[in-house]
Amino acid sequence: MQRMIGFRPALIAVFVALLGVVVHAQPSVPPGTGPAVVTVTVDGMPRAVLLQPPRSPPIAAVVMFPGGDGRIGIRPDGSIARSGNFLIRTRDLWLARGFLFVAVDAAVGQPATRGDRVGPATQQAIAEIVRIVRQRTTAPIWLLGTSAGAPAAMAGAASLPAGSIKGTVISSPVSIPDQRDSVFDAALARVRVPVLIQIHHDDGCRSTPPANAPRIKAALTAAPLVVVQEFSGGEWPRSTPCEAFAQHGFLGIESQVVNAAADWIVSH
């Protein structure tokens, strides 16, 4: 149920350290000629792996910020070592809908500590990722973040120049600060693009209470549109409440949640 309140080929996977200062990005293979490796230098941590999108042209680009510590282990061939996160394990659904898919790996250094998802260095890295994506497509760019990745998506939306991205989608967003950033650590009042918030009614994670969705919406005072989609149902959890294979990660209703987000993106 949904209530409205308010590696396979064709994947683009970006491996980038989100701490430090972005220095440059250099493709090793020209766009459009097959798999390409792009180096994004962030305090000496290189590498971005690009593969061709599933259709030409894509209807939009979705830049994904996973939850947890953000580390998904993107390899040089574009495969992902840790692919269980909600946004990462649903990549085939996004690709089938015609989206250019970008998976962002987290920094090495101090992952999952306060400031690592919303600070100036992260904002610079996000800006560089968006620049790389824009070089390869004229399609609208959206930032998506789930759980502890939601603060990064919101920090990017708050800091990017006008016109850089079309909007933002966050799911099961961390809204209770602990050792990790919450969405309220991002400058939400500076977000000036449409925002979709997706929650599960039975999300039992203490850091992502679904009841906080109206608070997040209220803080987005400059956003032209903020909508909350609430879901229910799914499979019996196979992980702890804050992990990906529970209601927190929309287990068993992935297609419903992705299609709802995809439809919303296309219509806005």
Convert the pLDDT of each residue in 137-190 to its tens digit.
899 999 999 999 999 999 999 999 999 999 999 999 999 977 779 999 999 999
pTM: 0.86
CATH code of the domain covering residue 166: 3.40.50.1820
User: Is the N-terminal amide bond of 140 cis, ω within 30° of 0?
Assistant: no
**Is the torsion defined by CA of 139, 54, 131, 118 positive or negative?**
positive
Whole-number Å distance between alpha carbons of 139 and 125: 20
CB 265, CB 58: distance < 8 Å: no
248 Cβ contact partners less than 8 Å away, ≥ 6 residues apart: 147, 172, 200, 203, 204, 205, 208, 241, 242
37 within some domain: no
Q: Out of 43-47, 66-70, 214-218, pick the least confident.
A: 43-47
Q: What is the pLDDT of residues 204-260, one digit of tens each?
A: 999 999 999 999 999 999 999 999 999 999 999 999 999 999 999 999 999 999 999
**C-beta atoms surrounding 107 within 10 Å:** 22
The answer as to whether 49 is a domain residue is: no
Q: Does some domain include residue 14?
A: no
- Phi/psi for 222 (5° steps) reads -100, -10
What does DSSP assign to residue 235? P
- The pLDDT score that the predictor gives to residue 143 is 97
- pLDDT exceeds cutoff 80 at 41: no
Q: Tokens 């840790």 correspond to what residue? A: 82
Give me the mean pLDDT over the 14-20 stretch: 42
Per residue in 81-116, pLDDT (tens digit) is 888 999 989 988 998 898 888 888 775 555 556 667
36 occurs within a structural domain: no
* Least confident window among 41-55, 64-78, 131-145, 208-222: 41-55
Query: Does residue 47 fall inside a structural domain?
Result: no
pLDDT of residue 10 exceeding 60: no
In this predicted structure, what is the pLDDT of residue 4?
42
Is 133:58 a contact under the CB 8 Å cutoff? Answer: no
Domain count, the chain: 1
What are 186's two structure tokens? 């991002």
Pairwise CA distance, residues 171 & 232, whole Å: 13
Domain that holds residue 67: 2-6+55-267
| 174 domain residue, yes or no | yes
Predicted confidence (pLDDT) at residue 198 exceeds the cutoff of 60 = yes
30 lies in some domain: no
pLDDT in the model for residue 33: 39
Question: Quick one: average pLDDT of 67-90?
Answer: 82
Categorize the per-residue pLDDT at 55 as very low, low, confident or very high, splitting at 50, 70 and 90. low
Total residue count of the chain as it appears in this document: 268
Rounded to 5 degrees, φ, ψ at 51 are -125, 155
Does 45 reside within a domain? no
